[in-house]
Every structure is written in C-alpha cells, then in structure tokens.
Amino acid sequence: MKKTLISLSLLCFGNFANAQTETALNIQAPTDQIVSKHIYGHFSEHLGRCIYDGFWVDENSAIPNKGRIRLDVVDALKKIKVPNLRWPGGCFADEYHWRDGIGPRNERPKMVNTNWGGVVEDNSFGTHEFLELCKMLDCEPYIAGNVGSGTVEEMAKWVEYLNFDGTSPMTAIRKQNGMDKPWKVSFWGVGNESWGCGGNMTPEYYSDLYRRYATYARDYEGAPLKRIASGANSEDYKWTETCMKNIGAGRMWGLTLHYYTLPTGNWKTKGSATKFDEEQYFNTMKNCLRMEEIVTKHAAIMDKYDPKKKVALVVDEWGIWTDVEPGTNPGFLYQQNSLRDALIAGTTLNIFNNHSDRVRMANLAQTVNVLQALILTEKDKMLLTPTYHVFDLYKVHMDAKYLPIKFTSPDYTVGNNKIAALNVSASQDSTGAIHISLVNLDPKNKISINTSLGDLKWKTVTGQILTSANVTDINTFDNSNKIHNAKFSGAKKSGNNLKVELPAQSVVVLELK
C-alpha cells in the first residue's frame, strides 16, 4: 500500500492547477540584434544508437531510406528546419581519424569506441555519409576536429579534403571517392572538451595548441572557416578568461561552453528520466535555470577582451542528463523524454534568445536516441519527443529581430525554496509578425499575464501550447502522440495590451500580426 501511494505522488503532483498568480510584461521595440537560427542547432555523436540504428540503418533494412539514411528521421528534422548538425562528437571526435571513414565501406578499418560502451565502430558512416545527411536536411555541417589524439597534419588535410577546389593529393582522393566539387564546410571545431575527454589539458596549453592547429586549418577560396575553440565546462570561468586572453578575438569565430542539467546535481546518480516527485522536479528546474547565470558570467569575461562581441559563445552541448533507462547499455546514454524535458528545452532556448548578442550558436545533445533526444526509434517505429515539439514551436524565432522584455516573474515555491516560475523571449520576423514564447515551470499554478507592447502594432493573436496532465508524462511507441502541440486560446487583445492565461507546466508560443 505504501509503494502505491508513493507511485501516485510521483505521477500526479502536477494535476491540481487551480491557483493563479499575476504579472506584467513590457516588450520593447526591436533592436539590430538578431536571434541566430544557429541557436537551434543539434548534435549527433557516434554514441549508442544516435548514428547507428538512428540516422543510419542496416544495408538490407526494410525501413525506408536513401543510401542507408533513414527517411522518416530526415523528414521530421526538416520540418523543424534544423540549421546545423555537429559531428562526429563529443568525446568520440578526439579519437576519430577521418581517413578511416572514407573510401569503399568494405575496406574501411574497424575501431573500438572507447568512450561509449566499448563497441566496435565499423566506420560505415563517415565524412561523405555525414555531408550527404546534411544535404538531405538542408543544414550546415559543424565538424569537430581531432586535437586530442590527432595531428595538425591530419586536421589540415581534412579541411583540404572538404574545401579545396584545386589540384592536390587530398582533392584527388576526394574525387576518387565520388565527390568532384568540395563541400565548403564553414563551421570547424578545433577539439572538444579539451579540459576533459579531449586531452585533460590546462587552458594555457590548449590555447597554444589551438593557435597551432587553427593556423594550418586553412581558408580556401570560397570556403572561409568559422573556427570554434574548445571552451569551458560549466562554471570554469578561468578557462574562458585564458582562451580569450591567449587566443585573441581575431583568431576564432566562436568559443564553446558545455552545461548539462542534472536532476540531482550529482554525476554518479543523476536521477530518473520518468520517476520523480515534486522536490526532484523543482531541483531539476533550479539546475536548468543556472544556465542564465553561467552564460551571463562567461559573456562578461568575453566582453573584457572582445567588447564588439565578434566572438560567438557557442553552447554546443546542453540538455538534461539523467540515468539511462533500466535495462539499457549504460554507455549508450538512452533516456526517455518527458514534459519536464520540454520545459527545460523551452526555458533554455529562451535564455539563449535573450543572450543572442553573444550566444549565436548552440547544439542540443543529442538528436536521436541519446540524452535529451528529439527522436526515439525502435526498429521501424519512430516517435517525436516533447522536446521535438518545443523546437517546432520555437522555429519562428530563427533569424528574427530580438525584442527585449522587462518583467518580474512570480515565484514557484517548494518548501522554503523558490525559483522564477515564468521565463519569456520574443522576436519580430521579416514580415513584422511578433512571436512570444512563454514557459510556466510551476506545475500547480497558472499565471495571468498582462503585456504592454508599446508602439508595436498588431491586430490579431493566435497561439500553440505544449502541456500534459503530469510533468512525468512521456510519448511511447504505443502512444506516440500523448504530448503534442495544440491550439492555444488563452490569449486575447485588450486595447493595445495582450492578456494571457498561461496554464501550469506549459510552453506557449504566440503570434501577433
């Protein structure tokens, strides 16, 4: 009996959304600041079932595919207008040697993926396959080069293979492998997590190494590189300071930042993806909101050395990281995806939008079957997670003008602790339409919002909402549409003000025309 009561408390703490709090928003006129589409980027590593059994199917698979690239996954990602895709890692990038993944597949050497499960990597998915995937997705490739176990020559020749349209040994090999013209890849990561799995380096050592590697990663005609330095882990502000000081703003397009939301805050026991009570939910959201402070502090350090904000802060790994699903390979990082994860996605993207003067690229970890995935697959079955639906809602912000917002959030309180219940971002697209994304983290209380839009002109408001009865709710292969976007009718015009009744535990995107 006791176990049954605990189970009910885990599942139903968000069902009683009767109370209401109030706040006012003041949306400012647009500035020249743009919410870059690249904030909505994604990440696909050779990890678990992301590439193999995710994007890439068996040679004789009956699942609809083009050259082994799974078409239902491609179609779903095209719908949300994926702007860029990061590959081959992650930690895998710094043990990946690109020449093992080109040429006839039956002649490619096999290797052991020492970072993720110790499984055999057959290298059937390599450079040509990845760039064909990007072509099918109509997105820009973002390649992470091997600094940890690779050489300057290896990286330089990879760039040449990708981008040089002339006569050279690398272009001859590329043409032999079926690609006459170069792909002209711009986004180029110089290492990954060089403070950890990418080499356990000091920031001083990495800064010097970056300058060397970046020197030989050449700009070829029509293909200037956007070189991205391997930046800090979470709150390692010294790393950012050292890189900005020693590398210099003129030698890099971007500097990375990695931060994951851990429900418990503990890497050893991170917490369940689906079974959690309100206190655990609250702590997860508190950890998610730390992204605001972390981005703000790293950006302030970058401002010291780069006051014109030429260097992008590239948050190329973010998302919730939980314990793996019971019974799955712990090295494959397969986790379910609940309404809680959708609220994390909406909140984090609002933070990035509001810092789009510095955050100009980000990559959710990861796209298929790994960590906070957009898509889960099981043989021929595929489902879209609640997180996918948030990206579908938020695509309206891509490359739109940023609209600053002033407001005071109501509190979401559990015991003696409290966090901001509400987070918001807004933009205006090229047609003049205004989009406002709102997230209510409070699982029990709705929020009544009165919004002033100043001199911004509009006549109508429509909206969509993502919510469910419980924050623990998930989409499953037997019920793949339990959580999905729906029409929202809780917003109306009152004079030139906008009034919104924002339900508990919800993500809402409004369009004003």
Using one digit for the tens of pLDDT, what is the confidence trace for 295-353?
Answer: 999 999 999 999 999 999 999 999 999 999 999 999 999 999 999 999 999 999 999 99
Looking at residues 370-384, what average pLDDT do you find? 97
Confidence (pLDDT) at 4: 31
Looking at residues 58-77, what average pLDDT do you find? 97
Q: Would you call 317 a catalytic residue per the annotation?
A: yes
Intervals of CATH 3.20.20.80 along the chain: 36-398
Q: Is the pLDDT of residue 6 over 50?
A: no
C-beta pairs of 165-171 under 8 Å, 24+ apart in sequence: 165/220, 165/221, 165/222, 166/220
Token duo for residue 504 = 């508990």
Dist. CA 356–CA 6, nearest whole Å: 42
User: Backbone phi, then psi, for 428, in 5-degree steps?
Assistant: -130, 125
Intervals of CATH 2.60.40.1180 along the chain: 13-31+404-512
pLDDT by residue (tens digit) across 238-295? 999 999 999 999 999 999 999 999 999 999 999 999 999 999 999 999 999 999 999 9
Dist. CA 103–CA 128, nearest whole Å: 9
Dist. CA 260–CA 269, nearest whole Å: 14
Q: What is the helix (H) or strand (E) element at residue 19, kind and residue range?
A: strand 19-27
Q: Would you call 160 a catalytic residue per the annotation?
A: no
Predicted confidence band of residue 417 (pLDDT cuts 50, 70, 90):
very high
CATH 2.60.40.1180 fits 13-31+404-512, yes or no: yes
Confidence (pLDDT) at 13: 57
Confidence (pLDDT) at 18: 56
Confidence (pLDDT) at 25: 94
Q: Is the pLDDT of residue 12 over 60?
A: no
* Catalytically annotated residue among 95, 121, 160, 317: 317
Q: Is the pLDDT of residue 114 over 60?
A: yes
Count other Cβ atoms within 10 Å, centred on residue 246: 16
Per-residue CA distances from 340 to 43, 120, 353 (Å): 21, 34, 20
pLDDT by residue (tens digit) across 141-182? 999 999 999 999 999 999 999 999 999 999 999 999 999 999
Dist. CA 242–CA 231, nearest whole Å: 10
Token duo for residue 434 = 């205004």
* Catalytically annotated residue among 45, 95, 160, 193: 193
Q: Is the pLDDT of residue 3 over 90?
A: no
Q: Is the pLDDT of residue 120 over 70?
A: yes
CATH T-level fold of 36-398: TIM Barrel (3.20.20)
Buried b (16+ CB within 10 A) or exposed e, 248-261: ebebbbbbbbbbbb
Q: Is the pLDDT of residue 11 over 70?
A: no
